[in-house]
Amino acid sequence: MATVKVTDSSFDADVIGSETPVLVDFWAEWCAPCKQIAPALEEVSDELSGKVTIAKVNIDDDPDTPSKFHVRAIPTLMIFKGGEVVATKSGAMTKTKLTEWINEHV
């Protein structure tokens, strides 16, 4: 399963209302660390399909949601379970660290 694009208008339905945990990647086109972590997110999305959904919010196209969740740096990753934030990380990380972090919280 590939990553899912989420917008300000779809956030509540796609993330808050999701039956499965959702990892949200707040990112931007101009962000080098965001581009660095993107392939790992795609791989993890495939490997953990059904266990967690990987969603991406472009902070330039959809600025309301990052503001609501006080995103101050990118990439910022947040794991939502039952509509609530259960974990947050900022900055790029390796695929191994990313997978470990996700498995700790889902």
> What is the distance of C-alpha 82 from the center of its chain?
15
One-letter amino acid at 44 equals V
Catalytic residue among 15, 23, 24, 31: 31
Q: Distance (Å, rounded) from C-alpha 57 to C-alpha 66?
A: 8
Q: Is the dihedral of CA 86, 91, 97, 98 positive or negative?
A: positive
Is 94 tagged catalytic?
no
Catalytic residue among 6, 15, 34, 98: 34
Cis peptide before 21 (omega within 30 of 0): no
Is 34 tagged catalytic?
yes
Tell me the catalytic residues: 31, 34
